[in-house]
Structure 1
Amino acid sequence: MFTETKAIVLSKIKYRDSDLIVKCYTQNDGIVSYLLRGVFKSRKAYSKVAYFQELSQLHLVTDYKEKRGLQYIKEVKISYLYATLHTNVLKSAVVIFLAEVLSSALQEEEQNDTLFNYLEATLQWLDTNETYANFHLLFLLNLSKHLGFYPDKTEIDAPYFNLNDGEFQFEKESRYAISSENLVLLKQLLGTNFDTLEAVKINGTQRQAFLGIMLLYFELHLGAFKKPKSLQVFNEVFN
């Protein structure tokens, strides 16, 4: 049965000599992997590969069968055409990094419109804005809300934030507690949105340190999460 869905590309890998496996986060079915047969056999078939750049937003017509491990795509077209994400060198670094984070963090094979809409809207914001040095920090923080471990702000005036418990505390109860400069930045990000993110002023060293904290936060709350291999290169770009 053919079905239609929007999809965001997370990763792709060559399979055998001429095939491609593409992992997507779809609006209808969560994480789905698709097998594209023969795309490296001819120039005409190879043109399809261009659709599947990291974080591309697509509209797919698929031959979807629930218990099949690899699904098949009948038709593909661009749902939203990026103006800058795949042509701007700095934004491309953000794309590669976030695609790797999402590929590791998103595991659910079920519909989640709220999460899909968040990814779709924030990536379009990044595409159309020119001040984005801290985008990835707020992106990850807000992503934690959709994954179930957004910081509990009940005691936000407390001097510590316990990464393991996901809450602000008045005593340092864990080796995973943060304070001082990192705590101030966390509170700033909790009180802002993407349109006011420019007001958060930090340097490259602070940005890199806080990113490490956010990735640790994900590791503590998502058992299968792994630090992105692209982290070192990404930090060099945004330091």
Structure 2
Amino acid sequence: MSKVISTVLAAVLAAGLIAGCGGKLNETYQMVTIREAGHSQIASPGFKFGFDTPDFIAANGDLALVREGNIIEFFTGIDIENKIKQVEGKKFIVGARKIYSPITHFTVDFFVVGGDTIEVGEPYAVTFPPMIKGFDEGEYEEVDISALSPETNSLKDIFNTKFKVEKAVLTYEEVNWGGTPEMAYVLNYPNIRFFIEEVSPELELVLKAFMAEDLYFDGGVSYGDRPATSTRNYRVSTKIAGPVKLEYIRYAGSVMPVVAE
């Protein structure tokens, strides 16, 4: 059952809730579960809700994902990625407002941990991953990835090809392709690996969620031209066959296509 923030907690939250003259509280945050806030008709003035230690499964910049069972919701806040780090491993309360545009999400006003209030606030602009239920995979090849190797002759069937990727283990590691070390997300199979280039912030959030929850990557990618001969030794020693670009991701029952800018 939902309940209104107690008098004691309201006093602790005063710094985040004070409005009007005289420093008096004129608003309350309704304590609810994620399911209640997102999927029920609970009335709350200003759509203001409080959540008790929600499970932030991933965060990137001003955007985060919260899971409760099979429900996943977007939360936003100024530098929410680093604000979450301040409450990791602790009991805390999140004060947030439910927003309906451009998609339904919650924008965090504050965290309360112990006797401290961490102000967050609404970011100027946030880009959400595009989410659709139906998606035409007809242009994506079904490639037998288990038959590939980093050798050039083995890769010829995927040159300039869009193909499906299923059950790939995702890691984040240093890649030295072309002589310049950089950190990259890598799709791993026992026989071959690909690193992902040009990841947008909103889709990086989803990649972080895959890793945080130990989920296999499922989606589609595109491979470019024949790799340079100079990369052969690196390919053979690391099993990294080169870069791929994300085309779409399957996550949480939806498809998230990459939208060209």
Give the alignment's TM-score, normalised by structure 2. Answer: 0.25
Between Structure 1 and Structure 2, whose CA radius of gyration is higher? 2
Which structure dedicates a bigger proportion of its chain to helix? 1
Which structure dedicates a bigger proportion of its chain to strand? 2
